[in-house]
Structure 1
Amino acid sequence: MLFKESVSIAIAALLSNKLRSILTMLGIIIGVGAVIVMISIGMGVRQNVTNSIASLGSNMLIVTPGSANKGGVRSAAGSNQSLKLDDAEAIQKRIKDIDYVAPTVNSSYQVVYGNQNWNTSVYGVTPDYMKIRSLTVASGSFITNADDNSRNRVAVIGSTVATNLFGTKNPVGSNIRIHNQPFKVIGVLESKGQSSMGSDQDDVVLVPLKTAQERLMGITYIRSINIQVTNTNDMDAVQEQVETLLRQRHHIRTGEDDDFNVRNLTSIMETMSSTTTMLTLFLGSIAAISLLVGGIGIMNIMMVSVTERTREIGIRKALGATFKDIMTQFLIESVVIGVAGGLLGVFFGVSISLLISHFSTFTTYITAAPIILSFTFSVGTGLFFGIYPAKKAARLDPIEALRYE
């Protein structure tokens, strides 16, 4: 019964000074809310980066040309023309633990339909590209091996290209012109949205690889080789085998630089995940400083409360209240402030995170862990910073307290 009475007295004391109580809670409210918002933003960044890398395909290795070196002058990375279609075929045949190999070429062109035109990225791909990149055809069909071998002028377009050229009309079966050459649209890809870098993954046109090489771009080399490894645990081993095979095929001697680069997307994802986790913790730590400030505010107001209620404390001790009774009373008051501030902070933090997702293109991710952690910390802050004022109140001499004016 004493505990219930103490809680009732604590609530009554806070309600008797509503403005002061709200101002005292403000530090806790801001601290808890800031922790939740900052961590949800950090988690959102992490998830967006992970989704962006995952959209390129799972268990992926990407082989790209190295930089050309002529006359001692090294050009930009990827400028070399060292990769050939035969390299991709050799990787497919000679290296185990691989599901798919998809060589690609790409360039930017103007695509025309009727009186509409659109500048976009045109990729030359093989049928395996669809499986590696986890693409889905919303309508029509995808490029086949027959299309590639026959150098057919067919195209599969992204939803952004379809909208800008055809509006609401179904593009399948229509003819478009790419670099002033006719192509028949055989399919439209399902939307994949923006990548974490802000690029539109639906602003693409896919054509058969050999058609792009021979009829569109007039090249014999390829821009990249996408490799999907069967098992994540075999990524490093397969990468080493790919590098060894390409060095042999390109007749690169020991000690000489490779004329190609192999990127391991799993390693990149792990690095990015680690970086974004540190960013999230950093943001959360900065926000948590507000909780410390809020705790100091609780201590300050409880000290004022002890001073104001000195006579009340003296009367209670004269009537038999023990050190423990007075201590419990003031600790409960400080904890109530922490609990109330924590609950309001959780409400505002979750609300702001949801509003950010609703009114912007950025998605925040709210999880239970930061909510529980910040609320627990707010209650602990109230308890910790209430100990000194509670001890001061409990140690008051009842005679001196009764004399206090």
Structure 2
Amino acid sequence: MSPLESMGIATRALGANKLRSALTVLGVVVGVAAVVCMISIGAGAQAEVSEKIRTLGANLLLVLPGAQNSNGAKLQSGTQPTLTEEDAAAIRRELADVQVAAPLLSRSMPLVAANRNWVTLVAGINSDYLVAREWQIVNGRSFTDEEVGSGAKVVIVGSVIVEELFDGRAGVGETLRIGNVPFTVIGVLDKKGLGAANRSQDDVVFIPLLTAKSRVLGAVRGTTREALDFISIKVSDAAAMSETQQQIEALLRQRHRIRGDAPSDFSIDNPADVLTARGAAVRLLGILLIAVASVSLVVGGISVMNIMLVSVTERTREIGLRMAVGASRRDILWQFLIEALILALMGGLVGAVLGAAAAVAIAWEAGWPILISPWAIVLACGFSGLIGISFGVYPAHRAARLDPIEALRFA
């Protein structure tokens, strides 16, 4: 008997007990749905972490004012003037693997354009900051050296500002008031999406650092105008990140006259390390959840085996009759094995659809990122098929070993 004929016989046998077949595959449906849902959520979280690392810029270090204890908590306020432009210049000048060292000064400020208001982060930078963050300008241009050096009233805006204040138009050449100071928009930044703190990186405006210190931010911060929020450092080679971090530590301790075991008045962070650790935690949690969900698949396989054993008992006379008219033990084996496989694959397909739908529903309700990958669905269905074969072998083997004479006597 050909496998196609065996499949036809198996399909008719399952169709004769539709309710029992449906209840049998329920465990497989739940298991596959859980696996697909967990893989989709985990893959979405991994993709989000990877995208955030990409948007940070490659080989990025941040030098922050204020010391940290061993747990990473701040011991000093970031408003203390522990970082200056001279520190950034020294890092760039004295360390060979540092490509750029870009100082930044920022504060939330009200913006006004064409009778529209918006409050966002206003950051004073030089053009090196855009290089460090690998930020592209899609309309207009960056700051010139003359604008940075003279404290010109020019501004580069993020895409959120364009949408909120300029109706999505380019905005280049428009006037934007920061506080009470008018600025001319000279550039629009490309979109970057959410950052490490789940805050939009596109809701920002950049002005020259000297302009920020002298005209906008310095007077309202209540601190010295020399204090920086942080210094962004782009390292030329990823392999030199750790060594460069140590060199920055030594250089700034020397510049700040910090001796012996005294704590540094600054800290150095690698944002990519934080996100990578978060990604590893998400990946581990996903593996644990998939392992738990896989238990449901095994339970579903046991359910398939139990029902197939019951089916063998109920159909003993039928098996004997088929053997009597010429069916071989191999034919009987294939029939019951194919029945188990069909049950498991049906559960796998239904479970994959339900799992994808559940992932979409969770993402919609909770705002989580998801990534429904075709390979995850194929893998889950393939695993369900393997479960069907594994747990269908024993019932099929038992059916094939029945003695045809004894089977025909079975009432």
User: After TM superposition, is the score higher than 0.5?
Assistant: yes
Shift in CA distance, 238/357, structure 1 to aligned 2, threshold 3 Å: same
Shift in CA distance, 188/79, structure 1 to aligned 2, threshold 3 Å: same
Q: Give the aligned residue type for 1:371.
A: I
Whether the aligned pair in 2 keeps the contact of 1:214 and 1:220 (CA below 8 Å) is no
Deviations, residues 307-341 of structure 1 (Å, cap 9, x unaligned): 22111122234446555443333122112222333
How far apart, in 1, do the equivalents of 2:107 and 2:255 lie? 26
* CA RMSD of superposed structures (Å): 2.6
The equivalent residue for 2:390 is 384
The equivalent residue for 1:8 is 8
The equivalent residue for 1:257 is 263
For the pair 1:18 / 2:18, whether they are aligned, the reply is: yes
Q: Give me the TM-score of the superposition, normalised by structure 2.
A: 0.89
Where 2:212 maps in the other structure, the secondary structure is: helix
The equivalent residue for 1:85 is 85
**1:328-347 → structure 2 map (5 Å cutoff):** 328-347=334-353
For the pair 1:307 / 2:316, whether they are aligned, the reply is: no
How far apart, in 2, do the equivalents of 1:82 and 1:285 lie? 49
How far apart, in 2, do the equivalents of 1:274 and 1:146 lie? 45
Whether the aligned pair in 1 keeps the contact of 2:67 and 2:263 (CA below 8 Å) is no
Deviations, residues 90-121 of structure 1 (Å, cap 9, x unaligned): 01111012222211011111112243211111
How far apart, in 1, do the equivalents of 2:57 and 2:68 lie? 28
**1:116-265 → structure 2 map (5 Å cutoff):** 116-195=116-195, 197-218=197-218, 219-265=225-271
How far apart, in 1, do the equivalents of 2:288 and 2:265 lie? 40
Deviations, residues 224-249 of structure 1 (Å, cap 9, x unaligned): 11111111111111111111111111
Identity of aligned residues (%): 42
Whether the aligned pair in 2 keeps the contact of 1:64 and 1:260 (CA below 8 Å) is yes
Whether the aligned pair in 1 keeps the contact of 2:148 and 2:208 (CA below 8 Å) is yes
Deviation at 1:168, TM superposition (A): 4.4
Q: Give the aligned residue type for 2:383.
A: F
Where 1:62 maps in the other structure, the secondary structure is: strand
Where 2:151 maps in the other structure, the secondary structure is: coil
How far apart, in 2, do the equivalents of 1:127 and 1:205 lie? 13
Where 1:55 maps in the other structure, the secondary structure is: helix
Where 1:102 maps in the other structure, the secondary structure is: strand
User: Which deviates more, 132-141 or 232-241?
Assistant: 132-141
Whether the aligned pair in 1 keeps the contact of 2:67 and 2:264 (CA below 8 Å) is no
The equivalent residue for 2:221 is none
The equivalent residue for 1:63 is 63
The equivalent residue for 2:42 is 42
How far apart, in 1, do the equivalents of 2:25 and 2:196 lie? 38
How far apart, in 1, do the equivalents of 2:291 and 2:264 lie? 44
Whether the aligned pair in 1 keeps the contact of 2:104 and 2:209 (CA below 8 Å) is yes
User: Which deviates more, 85-94 or 127-136?
Assistant: 127-136
Deviation at 1:58, TM superposition (A): 0.8
Deviation at 1:89, TM superposition (A): 0.2
Shift in CA distance, 213/116, structure 1 to aligned 2, threshold 3 Å: same
How far apart, in 2, do the equivalents of 1:325 and 1:140 lie? 75
Where 2:7 maps in the other structure, the secondary structure is: helix
Q: Give me the TM-score of the superposition, normalised by structure 1.
A: 0.90
Deviations, residues 20-63 of structure 1 (Å, cap 9, x unaligned): 22332232233223212211110111111221232121111110
Whether the aligned pair in 2 keeps the contact of 1:48 and 1:196 (CA below 8 Å) is no
How far apart, in 1, do the equivalents of 2:356 and 2:264 lie? 51
The equivalent residue for 1:271 is 277
Where 1:109 maps in the other structure, the secondary structure is: strand
Whether the aligned pair in 2 keeps the contact of 1:229 and 1:235 (CA below 8 Å) is yes
For the pair 1:51 / 2:51, whether they are aligned, the reply is: yes
The equivalent residue for 1:281 is 287
